[in-house]
Amino acid sequence: MGEPDHHHRSWRERSVGRRTVTVLLAGAMGLAVLGVLFVVVPGAVVDHDLAGGAVAPQDRLKAVNDVRTTLLQVAGGSVVLFGAYATWRQLRVSQDGLRATQEGYVTDRFSRAVDQLGSDKLDVRVGGLHALWRVAEQSARDREAVISIQAAYLRTHLPWPPTGPEAPSADIPINDIAPLEARAADSQVALTGLGVLCQHREQSWVNLSATDLRRADCDGLWLPEVNLDRSCMEAAGLYHANLTQASLVSVNLRHADLKTATLRRARCALADLRGARLTEADVRDADFTEADLRETNLRKADARGALFHRADLRLADLRGTDLSTADLDQARLTDARASELTRWPADFDPTAAGVVTTEDPGPEPPPLLQPPGMTAQHPPLRSMP
């Protein structure tokens, strides 16, 4: 045991000795360079500039000192520049290290949040969805992934038609169904997070097709270019929601509150909008081909350029609606209500179409402070068979 330890000490002593010699040699070389730089070079520079001319000794000494001062300033500036470069490099290394640490932290949070979504406990799943939402807000790189996860979570947990034993069946009256936040709080959190994050997303389409969103709270959410085809959104709250260019083909929006919502260029073909509230909504250039709009409240809606080809608008409230450039080809308007403020296409005869002209209701009442989704009771539709 003693012999290896002796060899180790000898090797360490030799290594220290070599480092000491190296430092001494480097110091000696540095002194030599400085000597040459500040002793030999200034005189050589002055002699070269004089080109053999004779000057007084004090003038030559002053010239040599001036050269030394200039060299000293150059050396000092070089040291300052080297120090600044070294500081910048160190800052870059520190920033790269901090960024790597933050990315690792975000990745860890992302993984743990996704793991929480598979929990059997509701509060754990809700916590995981909130954690994902927070990750998406802090990391733009992960926002698209979080949006996709939220959409997949809704499609798998709320399929339409419903399949789970705890989900209300498809034929239960809407007044007997609890709001989404009461019957599936985790799904409501996922939907709210999705509607907030979609305001700054990059991908074109988000898939929420065939999803059970009955009595969901979507007030003020951003859902542009979202595919909601064949979903059930009966009695959903969509007050002031943004559904620009959304796909709502064959969607069930009976009794939905879409007041002041934006549905510009939305595809609503074959949609069921009976009893829906579209007061002051923006439905310009939307496609309502063969949509069921019986008893729909479209008061003061902007429907310029909208397509109502073969749509059913019987008993609809069109008082103050702007239909000046809408396509009403083969639309059914029997007993629909209009007023003197309703604007029709130039070649359209509302009386011949069976429209009833009544008094305009005047200004719309201000919105409620709380969304009515928790307590709203929807009367049976008159258009029901």
- 163: exposed, middle or buried (Cβ count in 10 Å: 0-12, 13-18, 19+): exposed
User: In the chain, where do the E strands start and end?
Assistant: 206-207, 226-227, 337-338, 356-357
> Among residues 235, 233, 294, which one has the least CA distance to residue 266?
233
Which residues have a Cβ under 8 Å from the Cβ of 266 and sit 6 or more positions away? Answer: 243, 244, 245, 246, 247, 248, 283, 286, 287
Query: Residue 213 — φ and ψ, nearest 5°?
Result: -120, 35
The model's pLDDT over 123-146, given as tens digits with 9 standing for 90+, comes to 999 999 999 999 998 888 899 999
Query: Residue 257 — φ and ψ, nearest 5°?
Result: -95, 105
Asked whether 234 and 170 are in contact (CB, 8 A), the reply is: no
- Judge whether residue 98 has pLDDT over 70: no
- 368: exposed, middle or buried (Cβ count in 10 Å: 0-12, 13-18, 19+): exposed
Which pLDDT does position 138 carry in this prediction?
86
Beta bridge partners, 267, equal 247, 287
Question: Span 87-114, mean pLDDT?
Answer: 75
The model's pLDDT over 6-40, given as tens digits with 9 standing for 90+, comes to 555 665 666 666 777 776 776 677 666 666 666 66
Give the span between the Cα atoms of 329 and 228, in whole angstroms. 26
The model's pLDDT over 50-91, given as tens digits with 9 standing for 90+, comes to 666 666 777 666 776 776 777 777 777 777 887 787 788 777
Torsion sign over Cα 362, 363, 368, 373: positive
Q: Out of 105-109, 179-183, 207-211, 242-246, pick the least confident.
A: 105-109
Asked whether 232 and 250 are in contact (CB, 8 A), the reply is: no
Chain center to CA of 129: 15
How far apart are the two ends of the chain, measured CA to CA in Å? 101
The model's pLDDT over 245-268, given as tens digits with 9 standing for 90+, comes to 999 999 999 999 999 999 999 999
Specify the residue for token string 């000046």: 324
Which pLDDT does position 197 carry in this prediction?
95
Give the span between the Cα atoms of 270 and 267, in whole angstroms. 9
pLDDT band at 48 (very low <50, low <70, confident <90, very high): low
Asked whether 312 and 294 are in contact (CB, 8 A), the reply is: yes
Give the span between the Cα atoms of 226 and 244, in whole angstroms. 9
